A and B are shown apart, each in its own frame.
Chain A
Amino acid sequence: AQSVTQLGSHVSVSEGALVLLRCNYSSSVPPYLFWYVQYPNQGLQLLLKYTSAATLVKGINGFEAEFKKSETSFHLTKPSAHMSDAAEYFCAVSGAGTASKLTFGTGTRLQVTL
């Protein structure tokens, strides 16, 4: 069984400030972990993924995440927030195999203020 917990349904940061979105996972098998972003009335866009290679993963738009097995965490960070980063962010976990299901967290809405 797999599950994902995203702490904080809503995060607000000032433009230029550090972005930190938290994700903890539970998995009975070595996990594949993903962060997706969703803009209003759109589908999901992949930000980055962890698939058992490097533990520090760099993604698009300046985002990165670090896989910490000891903490079962995969937190998403960005050094400096932009207004365009305002969106809904989902952490997800899956197992191996092309038919593996994705299990999503409840999402975190990021607000960026001037």
Chain B
Amino acid sequence: GAVVSQHPSRVICKSGTSVKIECRSLDFQATTMFWYRQFPKQSLMLMATSNEGSKATYEQGVEKDKFLINHASLTLSTLTVTSAHPEDSSFYICSARDSGTTSNQPQHFGDGTRLSIL
């Protein structure tokens, strides 16, 4: 089955640090990937849609200069949390849909990255 690999699984760092999270589709190509944020015991909130070779589309209220997204290839998207602060601490999850299939195929999710800013 389709596998999405997300790295790292956990990050603990000091306030002011920038953190990069990688999302890779291992056995399929994805022109579109999605980045979500999940607070404890809450649902997933879509942050942005990552588009290969073009700018990401951000949801309302998400700071694009804070959360930099790069989708340089058909199998890799990165999310960089710039100058992270404690309020950025959260669980970040990426997903991807196989571009080579029909439109009704589901999104496949990575295992998430728990970011803790001290």
Contacts and interface: CB of A to CB of B under 8 A. Distances in A.
Interface of A: 32, 34, 36, 41-46, 49, 51-52, 90, 96-107, 109
Contacts of B106: 34, 46, 49
Nearest to B93: A43
> Could you say which of B43, B51, B93, B112 has the most chain A C-beta atoms within 10 Å of its C-beta?
B43
> Could you say which of B6, B95, B104 has the most chain A C-beta atoms within 10 Å of its C-beta?
B104
A91 to B, nearest CB: 10
A71 B95 CA distance: 30
Nearest to A96: B103
A98 B42 contact: no
- 8 tightest Cβ-Cβ pairs between the two chains A and B: A51-B104, A43-B109, A44-B109, A43-B111, A99-B32, A96-B103, A104-B43, A106-B43
SS class of chain A's interface: helix, strand, loop or mixed? loop
Contacts of B41: 109
Interface of B: 4, 6, 31-32, 34, 41-44, 46, 49, 51, 91, 93, 95, 97-99, 101, 103-112, 114
A41 B116 CA distance: 13
Contacts, number: 61
Given A34-B106, A90-B43, A98-B98, 15 more contacts: A32-B104, A42-B111, A43-B4, A43-B95, A43-B111, A43-B112, A44-B109, A96-B103, A98-B32, A98-B97, A99-B49, A101-B46, A101-B49, A106-B43, A107-B42
Contacts of A46: 106, 108
Contact of B46 (A43, A102, A106): A102
> Could you say which of A42, A52, A98, A101 has the most chain B C-beta atoms within 10 Å of its C-beta?
A98
Contacts of A52: 104
Nearest to B9: A41
A102 B46 CA distance: 8
B42 A106 contact: yes
B107 to A, nearest CB: 6
Contacts of B110: 43
